[in-house]
Amino acid sequence: MSTYFSKDHEWIKVDGDMATVGITDYAQSQLGDVVYVELPEVGKALKQGEEAAVVESVKAASEVYAPIDGEVAETNGALVDEPGKVNEDPEGAAWFVRLKVVDAGQFAALMDEAAYKAYVETL
């Protein structure tokens, strides 16, 4: 299983042709307390960079973008009832969607963990 990161602070864990997407610990710390999560419909075809989900903190709404093209295979409905999980376990239990991978070549444009850490330090 490989993990990649986007400049929009999504992580993506790839297992075969299935990719699980969430937001990074850095992203949740910037958002503050998450109070609402809106998830896409299962079956929706997303293009890379399209809005995959919406997270609302006490302060403001933010989008979670699809880091790759993919069809929404599954969403994490537990976040709807417990949005605070995004703050507690952003890189674990609080994943947002699972996408069926269309083009594995898109991973090349994403960052690995070391590159993402270096990127965050520049912010």
Partner 1 sequence: MADADVSAELMQTPLHDLHVELGARMVPFAGYAMPVQYPAGILAEHLHTRGKAGLFDVSHMGQAWLVGPDHETTARALEAFVPSNVVELGRGRQRYTVLLNAEGGIVDDLMVTRPVAEDDDGRLFLVVNASRKDVDYALLRAGLPDAVRLEVIEDRALIAVQGPKAVAAVAAHAPDAARLAFMTAAPMEFDGIACHVSRSGYTGEDGVEMSVPAGAAEAIVRALLADERVRPVGLGARDSLRLEAGLCLYGHDLDETTSPVEADIAFVLQKRRRVEGGFPGSGRILGELAGGTGRKRVGLRLDGRAPAREGAEIRLPGGPIVGVVTSGGFAPSLGAPVAMGYVAAGHAVPGTELALVVRGKELPATVVAMPFVPHRYHR
- Give the residues lining the site for partner 1 (CB under 8 A): 8-9, 27, 30-33, 35-36, 38, 54, 56-62, 80, 83, 87, 123
Q: What letter would DSSP give residue 29?
A: H
Helix, strand or coil, per DSSP, at residue 52: strand
Smallest distance, Å, CB 104 to partner 1?
Answer: 27
Task: Specify the residue, 56 or 74, whose C-beta has the smaller distance to partner 1.
Answer: 56
Task: Specify the residue, 10 or 98, whose C-beta has the smaller distance to partner 1.
Answer: 10
Give the pair of three-digit tokens for residue 28: 């949740």
Task: Specify the residue, 58 or 115, whose C-beta has the smaller distance to partner 1.
Answer: 58
Buried b (16+ CB within 10 A) or exposed e, 17-44: eebbbbbbbbbbeebeebeebbbbeeeb
Smallest distance, Å, CB 56 to partner 1?
Answer: 5
Kindly tell me the number of DSSP H helices and DSSP E strands found in the chain. Answer: 4, 9
Task: Specify the residue, 19 or 31, whose C-beta has the smaller distance to partner 1.
Answer: 31
Smallest distance, Å, CB 116 to partner 1?
Answer: 14
Residue written as token pair 């293009």: 47
Smallest distance, Å, CB 112 to partner 1?
Answer: 20
